[in-house]
Amino acid sequence: MSRSLIRKNQLHPDIADLISGYGDNFFITESELTSRINTITGAATLFNIVYTTGSQTINGSKNFLIRPTVNGTGVLLQGEATAGGGSTAFDGNRKISLAVNGFQNLQPGGDNVVTFLDNLFYPFVQAQITLNNFNTIYELGLPLNTVNCVGTIATGSLNINQITNLQCVVNNTTVPQILLSPSASFTVSAEVNLTNTSNNVKLRANSRDKNNQIVVIESNIQSIYFEPPFYFGAGVANLTPAQITGQLTKRIELPSDKTLPFTANNQKLYFAYPQSWGTLSQIRDQNGFDNTSDWATRSNLTFSLVNGSTRVYTVREKILSVSFPTPFSYTFDF
């Protein structure tokens, strides 16, 4: 039976202790190292070991108690734990006191050195999915049938293959399309029928935790809004609602202050907005001067939406008809 050269530092410290004083190198067969370990019933484990170093044979036996070591298993010299010293038990549930940025006051946890180091330097990082910005404002009265959700994945401690079953979730309801194996950047579509004023959209996927168990992760939330249009532009005096919707520029935006360009000379200027937006407090020209008094107000006008329903609007019409540079902007403050 062949013997292999063994270095003392290759052995468990407790085993290496048996051959202290006999040099750092010795020869031993695999069977001599493994077959002579016999387990005795009870709290102790007896190791009977024979080492042969050239012409010299070393016999030794030692009793050990089971104890955690660097990999969470191993043995403890009998009596060490109760003698008040020499115990290799490790407590990682302490705050780091060393004044090093990023480490001080951390409490990594762990009852052995490997777990402690893993927690400190290689903590598990869950994957994250992000819903990118997309068009979130649509015209009230027009149904929205498809939502295209473009997203990205940061895998954290996982790999991309562990992120599966990705879906677009609208109003907390999953949609039929499921992307089984997404890439770092992906698009998943939701077939929907949205017409109301506010809808929440997010991404949902199956991921894995540090124990390789399936967990559900979700992205940030974005909202889809439906708003009636507002209109602006130039025309003859006293345009009707039908003429305003047919001739002026239409925009779909959330209620807010508006700075708009006007490009026609010697005509009346118009700004028509849903009455539900609230009170228009001020109109300023592009130089910042208050022009509110130059604009007449017509309230409670009925405008038709694209689906035939109606909405109450307010129309502001600039009284003075003068020549002005093109374009000339006005800001409408709500």
Give the closest residue to 200 by CA, choosing from 255, 129, 274, 149: 149
Distance CA 262, CA 225 (A): 27
- The two tokens of residue 210 are 């540090």
Specify the pairing of strand 137-139 against strand 222-227.
Answer: parallel
Burial 128-166 (b: 16+ CB within 10 A, else e): bbebeeeeeebbbbeebeebebebbbebbebeeebbbbb
- The two tokens of residue 10 are 């290759």
The DSSP result for 77-128, as a single string, is ETTTTTTTS--------S---S--TTTTT-----SSHHHHHHHHHS-----E
For the chain, the domains span 4-77, 90-123, 128-226, 229-333
The DSSP result for 198-230, as a single string, is EEEEEEEEEEE-TTS-EEEEE---EEEEEE--E
Distance CA 332, CA 232 (A): 11
Task: Give all strands of the β-sheet with 282-285 in edge-to-edge order.
Answer: 258-262, 328-333, 282-285
Domain 128-226 has CATH 3.40.50: no
Whether omega for the bond prior to residue 327 falls within 30 degrees of 0, making it cis, is yes
Residue 277: what residue type? Answer: W
Mind listing the pLDDT tens digit of every residue in the chain (334 residues)? 445 455 555 555 555 555 555 455 555 454 554 444 433 333 344 444 454 555 555 555 544 443 334 334 444 444 444 434 445 677 888 888 888 787 788 788 888 888 888 778 888 899 999 999 988 999 999 999 999 999 999 999 999 999 999 999 999 886 667 777 778 899 998 888 898 878 999 999 999 998 899 999 999 999 999 999 999 999 999 999 999 999 999 999 999 999 999 987 778 999 999 999 999 999 999 999 999 999 999 999 999 999 999 999 999 999 765 566 667 899 999 9
Distance CA 192, CA 109 (A): 47
Question: What's 192's DSSP letter?
Answer: E
pTM equals: 0.60
